[in-house]
Amino acid sequence: MGKKLVVANWKMHGNMAENKRLLQAYINQLSSLKNTDVVVCVPYPYLAQAQSMLQNTNIAWGAQNLSKDAVGAHTGEVSAAMIKDFGASYVIIGHSERATAYCESDENIATKFVQAQAHGLTPILCVGETLIEREAGVMQMVVGKQLDTIISTYGAAVFAKSVVSYEPIWAIGTGLAASSDQAQSMHEFIRGKVAMLDKEAAASMKILYGGSVNPQNAVQLFVMQDIDGGLVGKCSLNAQEFEQICRVAA
């Protein structure tokens, strides 16, 4: 699958001074990193700061959400073209924290996915199940439905060179990561589902694990065949821990 990919998701954290210190630490500590691509997804107001500090480095940047609409009277929304204006190359789509709090439907998330691609952004599509759904044994059905909404509308080919992040909702921010076997099983299911319809798309997509990734569990997770890296939340706010995760991936 080539290089691993590690994505920092700052969520709603940071200010200009803290960001400067953290980004400078990223630059200093990761400039020599090989065989791993690194992305930091920042809150909208800090896209310009990320662009200013990260351009001409080996670290890419992106946003944490985007509007499903290209332009129009949508107060408070931010379009894919606006994000692209700041040199961003990635955008997180459908994170469960947003889908739950703001009642995002699978259909809206599917539209955002192709909006990102239409404007030259690589979407990082988040999928995952709740603890109740896992305990009921329906986790593949739940994740499969999330993928089916995109596939049925736009076809499996849209997953080519995209990123999917498996984030079991019960693991996000809880410190309870999925086991490496649990994660590998779901990643294999995701890749296989796309491969049944488009083998080339399945081979070129990256599938990340997200959900309480830390330097310790990254060692077990990143050696799995279908785990192509991680989407890192809390530990991305600590430059030393984030560097350790990136070096495990490398």
Please list the active-site residues.
95, 167
For residues 118 and 81, the answer to whether their CB atoms sit within 8 Å is: no
Report how far residue 241's alpha carbon sits from residue 224's, in angstroms, rounded to the nearest whole number.
21
The phi and psi torsions of 11 (rounded to 5 degrees) equal: 55, -145
Provide the residue type at 126 as one letter.
C
For residues 165 and 203, the answer to whether their CB atoms sit within 8 Å is: no
Kind plus residue range of the DSSP H or E element containing 109: helix 106-118
Of 77, 78, 89, 84, give the one whose Cα is nearest residue 40. 89
Rounded alpha-carbon distances, angstroms, from residue 171 to 98, 195, 246 = 15, 27, 20
The phi and psi torsions of 63 (rounded to 5 degrees) equal: -110, 170
